[in-house]
Amino acid sequence: MKKILTALSLLLLAGLVLSACQPAAQPTPETIVQTVEVPVTQEVIVTEVVTQEVEVPAERVEIRLSGWAANPQETALLESLLYKFNVANPDIVVKYEPITGDYWQAINTMVATGEEPDVYYMDIFQFPAFAQNQVLLPLDDYMAESGVSREEFIPALIDAFTFEGATYGIPKDFNTLGLFYNRDLFAAAGLDEPTDDWTWDELRAAAEATTDSANNIYGFGVPADPGRFPVFVFQNGGRIMSEDFSDTLLDSAEAVAAAEFYTNFRKDSVGAIPGDLGEGWQGTLFGKGQLAMVYEGGWLIPYLKEQFPDINYGVVNPPAGPAGEGNLIFTVAYVISPNSKNPEAAWRLIEFLTNEESQTAVLTSGFALPSRISLQEHEYLANNPASAAIFRGALTGAHPFMWGIVGSDVNDQMGKALERVYVEDQPVAEALAEAAEAIRNAIQQSQ
């Protein structure tokens, strides 16, 4: 007992001496010494906890930050960045309030009552509705003041969060689609592995060669998914929506031909939808070796590593179509609420979370790709060709996964049109014409 007491008092003494050593830098009325634990992330898992002592000014502002919690590792990464921010900005307290469950339901109702967090995640798909209803703070003045330029970010990403000439969000990360292919199935079929120079013809030929329907193995995954199919429309020179989102181009000749090409994989039994093989997601079927090729994003990489560590696969850019390359960008930004009482502090948080150092941490964590263009030369990408292929996708004919304010209607109709082709054998042109009509109706009603 006495020993413990001695040890404790020694510790206390050491603490006092240490705190006395700290220079009294800030001219704040009183400074408190607080112990902050800083977890240092190495690769994926928090491996080390460093104890640091930081001076905390008495007057601090509070910033609420909300996002969805994708997985524990990603949360750990964000928290480690927030600790670093806290150390660097002792006058700002960040309250991280992750939202579990339905994120948009929560954010929408919070915006309705003016209770939304100062800083929150904004998905590109939802962005048009928020921008059009003027519930986001334009960031251009803050960017100019702190010397952050739009050119530092991948153009397709920063452009996506621009509305009527103003920047409303700083992209935090992104994903595109890559052609994931199973090396063993390619070798068994005696095929050369795909390259970034592949075209539709080679994709189709590879699907035919790798299909082994007797063993429930199909060449290519063609889900009725509005998050996959548009790639083919872009590659065929078409678009889903017109430039100003006032009309849909889903019934254009380019889109119809793309849909023919896409749905024919299944019609000719060289492609399959997940339901055909008893799964909800084609990523699982790729892992099980039942689909030789799928279009998926970077999220499939950690999933395969965890669930199917033995699979031997590669990733290249989606093969080009008649009109060249095309891809979809899925991206999320940090936005600031105009109701924020401390927009400067909120901006400092965003600036920190998207600076080069934080973005490097995002990249090396392996969960997502950083939005800063300078990081395309980072050695992590050289060592991880799969991630590099996904990163390159943003620079080659990619369009954001966003269809204006009627986005959910466009998604619903696109998915249903493909379902009708698959389930009811409806002719492709008819299915897309029906979808386009419903979308036009929704656009009209949204005005």
Partner 1 sequence: MAAIPGARTKRRKRSEALTAYAFLAPYLFIFTVFMLFSLIYTVYLSFTRYNLLRPPEFWGLEGWERVLTDELFMTKALPNTFKYVLIVVPVQTVLSLVLAFAMDQKLRGRRLFRTIFYLPSITSSVVISLIFVWLFSPIGVINQLFNLNVNWLGDQRTAFYTIMLVNIFTTSGTLMLIFLAGLQDIPVTLYEAAEIDGANKLQSFLYVTIPLLRPVLFFVVTVGVIGGFQVFDQIFIMTEGGPVDSTTTIAYIIYKWAFRDTTIKMGQAAVAAVILMVIIFVITMLQRRVIEGSGTAV
Give contact residues for partner 1 (rule: CB under 8 A): 102, 104-105, 108-109, 111-112, 125-126, 128-130, 133, 135, 275-279, 405-409, 415-416, 419-420, 423-424, 438, 442, 445-446
As measured in angstroms, the least distance from the Cβ of 333 to partner 1 is 16
What are the residue ranges of helices labelled H in 246-293?
A: 253-267, 282-287
Helix (H, G, I), strand (E, B) or coil at 27: coil
As measured in angstroms, the least distance from the Cβ of 356 to partner 1 is 33
Round to the nearest angstrom and report the end-to-end CA distance of the chain. 76
128 versus 227: smaller Cβ distance to partner 1:
128
Nearest to 128 by CA among 106, 105, 160, 156: 160
257 versus 410: smaller Cβ distance to partner 1:
410
60 versus 416: smaller Cβ distance to partner 1:
416
28 versus 216: smaller Cβ distance to partner 1:
216
For residues 318 and 325, is the Cβ–Cβ distance under 8 A?
yes
- The C-alpha atoms of residue 183 and residue 311 are separated, in whole angstroms, by 8
173 versus 279: smaller Cβ distance to partner 1:
279
Sign of CA dihedral 316, 319, 325, 327: negative
As measured in angstroms, the least distance from the Cβ of 435 to partner 1 is 11
As measured in angstroms, the least distance from the Cβ of 277 to partner 1 is 7
- The type of residue at 407 is G
- The C-alpha atoms of residue 414 and residue 256 are separated, in whole angstroms, by 12
Burial 60-77 (b: 16+ CB within 10 A, else e): ebebbbbbbeeeebbebb
381 versus 428: smaller Cβ distance to partner 1:
428
22 versus 133: smaller Cβ distance to partner 1:
133
For residues 356 and 372, is the Cβ–Cβ distance under 8 A?
yes
128 versus 343: smaller Cβ distance to partner 1:
128
Report the DSSP beta bridge partners of residue 221. Answer: 272
Burial 282-320 (b: 16+ CB within 10 A, else e): bbbbbbebbbbbbbbbbbbbbbbeeebeebebbbbbbbb
As measured in angstroms, the least distance from the Cβ of 254 to partner 1 is 25
Give the angle subtended at the CA of 179 by the CAs of 173 and 184, to the nearest 5°.
Answer: 130
- The C-alpha atoms of residue 158 and residue 274 are separated, in whole angstroms, by 33
Tokens of 393: 């996708």
302 versus 415: smaller Cβ distance to partner 1:
415
As measured in angstroms, the least distance from the Cβ of 421 to partner 1 is 11
As measured in angstroms, the least distance from the Cβ of 79 to partner 1 is 29
Report the DSSP beta bridge partners of residue 42. Answer: 45
